[in-house]
Amino acid sequence: MLKYFISNKLPAGHPLTYLFLAFITMVGLSYINFMPGFVNALAGNIGFNEAEAGQIVALNGYGGLIGSTIAIFLVRRIQWQPAMFLFLVLLSAIDLSTIWLSELSVSTTGSSNYTLMLGWRFLAGTFGGLSLGIGFAVLARLNNPDRAFGTLLFIQFSIGSIVMYFLPELEAQLSAYAVFYVMAAFVLMSLAILPFLPALSLKYSTSNQPISDHTASFSGTSHNALLLMLAIITYQIAASAIWAYVGLIGLGANISNDDVSMYIATTGLLGVLGAMLPVISGNRYGRLYWIMAGIGMSMVSAIMLSASQLTPLLYVIAMSLLFFSWPAIQSYLLAVTAEQDTSGKLSTIAAVVSSIGLASGPLIASGFLNSENFSLMLYVCIAIFVLSFILLLKPVQAQEQERSIKLPAQYPS
């Protein structure tokens, strides 16, 4: 392993390449991994109300959408590492300056400036989305898309659990703005490991053949690809809506803040197991049944959280179901996307629609809150989970059938 660091570049197939690239991709919108802590901080000592907190998170996500959309047109025209370095530097500067601007606003006006926070977090999301979109395209170019996106989800849920566990202590030691220090620290770590990644070209497929515009765009305009993108966005809307408010749901059930953070952190570790599922199994047993089971678990999670008498046990079980199923479903769907288009362009589009879902979830959820009652919001999430399942059924079935036809040809008796 040492020789790779001495030569300064890892091979494309090395496990550390998957790990480092997944980490850097995650960092673009890292707040998503500990969104309940972000929302709790904004709606707590930083001084915004619950609806404003959800809207700030949503604007951060819509900035990510803009950035990821721009990345679609950049990925085949740029050297990805210098571009990634620039966007990450700008992102870290904005994360750190958010703290200064908010504290300045409080000191001069006596309260946090809602409009200023909206605009500044939108800008942070834009640069984060640019790096995220580029990262998705590079991940799709690696040899094993199931492993690549499974590793990404593994990183996301590992980081989410760790941050949620330590965030209350960090807030006690630093300030209510500790979550912004955490985001900036992750960006700085990404800048440190970026030079070790291989200089993969985004102008060529994994077979080293140039990608024609026709090939690159065919899957992106097909009927199945459209259904797949809609399935990704709807599932992300429902899951992120619950994720954004799961901390406040716990607090509303009279669970203490420290216990809520601990429960989210510990159950979030099941997300690591869910993310490892596609890494371990790959596509050897197909993806459809795993996805069906995962969406069923997500629906049961929302039903349990909507219980009128939410106990700590129900709360923990509900989060366990969601956190295990969410990364498995997303990594399988992203692997389906990567197989539909080897250019990586459709994967970047998937990053965009995923950003739409992640940004829209908290915003939609905030519109269904009623005097801190989360039941209506959770019922809407259940309906959206059902819609996502209906949308993904045809494209995943089609790819399973296509793969079953190809395998005998690839491995003749």
Q: Locate the domains of the chain by residue range.
A: 15-200+213-402
Q: Looking at residue 149, what is its pLDDT? A: 75
Number of neighbouring beta carbons within 10 Å of residue 65: 25
**Average confidence (pLDDT) over 361-387:** 86
Over range 201-229, report the average pLDDT. Answer: 55
More confident site: 310 or 348 = 310
Segment among 9-18, 35-44, 88-97 with least mean pLDDT: 9-18
pLDDT at position 329 over 80: yes
Most confident range (mean pLDDT) of 21-30, 207-216, 324-333 is: 21-30
In this structure, how many other beta carbons lie within 10 angstroms of the beta carbon of residue 1? 8
Helix (H) or strand (E) holding 77: none
User: Which of the two residues, 126 and 359, has the higher pLDDT score?
Assistant: 126
Q: Write the pLDDT tens digit of every residue in 185-212.
A: 999 999 999 988 877 665 544 434 344 4
CATH topology of domain 15-200+213-402: Growth Hormone; Chain: A; (1.20.1250)
Assign 370 to helix, strand or coil: strand
pLDDT at 202 (0 to 100): 59
Half-sphere exposure of 215 (CA within 13 A, CB side): 12
Q: 143-168: b or e for each residue (b if 16 or more CB lie within 10 Å)? A: ebbbbbbbbbbbbbbbbbbbbbbbbb
pTM of structure: 0.69
Please tell me the predicted confidence (pLDDT) of residue 206: 43
Could you give the residue ranges of the DSSP H alpha helices within 253-344? Answer: 257-281, 288-305, 312-340
Distance CA 247, CA 255 (A): 10
Cα–Cα distance between 275 and 321 in angstroms, integer? 13
Whether the predicted pLDDT of 369 surpasses 50:
yes
pLDDT of residue 169: 86
- Written in H, E and C, the secondary structure of 126-195 is HHHHHHHHHHHHHHHHCCCHHHHHHHHHHHHHHHHHHHHHHHHHHHHHCCCCHHHHHHHHHHHHHHHHHH
| Per-residue confidence (pLDDT) for residue 108, from 0 to 100 | 66
**Facing residues of 87 across strands?**
none
> For residue 373, what are the β-bridge partners?
370
pLDDT digits (tens, 9 = 90+) for 240-298: 899 888 888 888 888 888 888 888 888 877 777 776 776 666 555 667 778 888 899 99
For residue 22, what is the enclosing H or E element? helix 15-27
